[in-house]
Structure formats: C-alpha cells, structure tokens
Chains A and B, each alone.
With several copies, the nearest count.
Chain A
Amino acid sequence: MTVRVEREDFDVGAEVARLTVGRSDIGAIVTFSGTVRGGSGADAITAMTLEHYPGMTEAELARVEAEAGKRWPLKASLIVHRIGTLKPGENIVLVVTASAHRQAAFAAAEFLMDYLKTRAPFWKKEMRADGQARWVAARECDREAAGRWEEISPPR
C-alpha cells in the first residue's frame, strides 16, 4: 500500500514488478494509467500543468487507498500521481491493484480512480494551442462515478 506524488515519469512494468516480486499469492494485477490527451482543432492543447495541495494530497490518497483495502481483499496497491508540466501523451496517474482474483483487482482499481478524481486535491491547467491557458472544469460524470460506490456493498 504505497502513495507517491512526484514530478518524474513512471514505468508501469517496473512498478508492477516491484509490487509483485517474489510473491505467489497474487493471481490478478490491474493497472490504470491516465495520460494527457492532446485534443484537436479548437481544443488542441500543448501542455498541462498539475498543481496540488502538498500534505493533503498524500493524506487523501492514503485514505482512499486504505478504504479500498477495507472493501476488497487486496494483496498490494499503489497510487502514483505526477505534478508539474506534462505534454500530450505523457503519463499523469498510475493505479495498481493486486488480488488473488480479478474481480477484486478490477473493482478496487476503478474505485481508487473514481475517488481520486473527486477527492484528491489536484488541479489541471491546460495550455492551449491558441495561446490561452484554462483551468480544467470538474466533470459531473466523475462525481456520479464516485457516488455509485456509496450504495454498493463490496463483493467480498
């Protein structure tokens, strides 16, 4: 159960290897990588800057990860979130979940992403191709996605 906030890029394979090395109790590993989309036409962007609330971010991600560990029988999990200025195609966020079976690993990874999107104090600013900079607006569908976990009891 690890949380990191950093400027450097991550390598999905290396992170999975580190999390699972020497273990034979894991049967299923799910990773989610979020990347910067470049958009197109009037929505084309040249870069994205990620600002966060140092201290609260780590605390919030750790709370979210602990909650996932209570809901599903996870063998290991990892959240890495980058900050600073990123170009289209670059990695933003990585979530890894490992469990004995795939259902728990999939559900926990989705849960972590949904909660991270609505609770972790990060803000994205897009640098647009037309020279304008714009703070990204929160998406209503992310609030709905997070809301669904409050009704479902976990499939333990």
Chain B
Amino acid sequence: MPVKILYFAWVREKIGKAEEILDLPANVTTVAELMVWLKGRGPEYAEAFAQGDVIRVALDRNHVKSTAPLSGAREIAFFPPVTGG
C-alpha cells in the first residue's frame, strides 16, 4: 500500500524533499519503526532523524506519539516542534 510521506521545516531541508510516495515493508507497523526504516534510506535521512526524539509526527493530519501504530494511515508527516503564533 503506497503511503504519502511529508517533511516540513528543517526535516524537509535535511532530507531535501517536501514529500514522497513510499511502499512500506510489512514489518514497519509503528511510527518509531518507520523512523528507523527511513534512517536506512540514506545519509540525508539518517541526519534528519538523528535526533528522533525531537521530531513530531502526524498520521492523516492528527498529532500522534512515536509509539503510535501506523494503522493504515495514508498521509504521514514528520516535522520539528511547531513554532507558530
């Protein structure tokens, strides 16, 4: 099942792209597992996710914790802590 992955702010800058469509392996079932898997895709990913604990995640546009199951989300976004307002 292809999933749309979005990157924002410095996560986007480090990875060098704003979004991509990826087929996730069957054994990637949580946000944390997805981050580990993405790190393996290249040094730019490894650097972006080096401080994985500061990166925030949204599944289908809802904030979730990194322990959350992917639960068939179609759109997954990674970004730094928000700084609006």
A residues apposed to B, CB below 8 Å:
34, 50-53, 55-56, 59-60, 81, 92-93, 113, 116-125, 135-138, 142
- Chain B residues with CB under 8 A of A53: 6, 8, 58, 61, 77, 79
Q: Are B85 and A123 in contact (CB under 8 A)?
A: no
Instruction: Please name the 3 residue pairs, one residue from A and one from B, whose CB atoms are nearest each other, closest first.
Output: A122-B84, A138-B81, A123-B9
Cα(A52)–Cα(B18), bound, Å: 12
Q: Are A117 and B85 in contact (CB under 8 A)?
A: yes
Q: Which of B6, B63, B80 contacts A123 (CB 8 A)?
A: B80
Q: Are B84 and A50 in contact (CB under 8 A)?
A: yes
Q: Does B26 contact A (CB under 8 A)?
A: no
- Chain A residues with CB under 8 A of B81: 137-138
- Chain B residues with CB under 8 A of A81: 84-85
- Chain B residues with CB under 8 A of A119: 63, 82
Cα(A53)–Cα(B78), bound, Å: 10
- What are 17 sample pairs from A and B whose C-beta atoms fall under 8 A apart? A34-B85, A52-B84, A53-B61, A93-B85, A116-B85, A117-B83, A118-B82, A121-B84, A122-B82, A122-B83, A122-B85, A123-B9, A124-B83, A125-B9, A135-B10, A137-B83, A138-B83
Which partner residue on chain B sits nearest A83 by CB separation? B84
Q: Are B77 and A117 in contact (CB under 8 A)?
A: no
Which partner residue on chain B sits nearest A118 by CB separation? B82
Which partner residue on chain B sits nearest A58 by CB separation? B61
State the Cβ distance, A12 to closest chain B Cβ, in Å: 16
State the Cβ distance, B36 to closest chain A Cβ, in Å: 23
- Chain A residues with CB under 8 A of B80: 123, 135, 138
Cα(A27)–Cα(B23), bound, Å: 44
Which partner residue on chain A sits nearest B58 by CB separation? A56
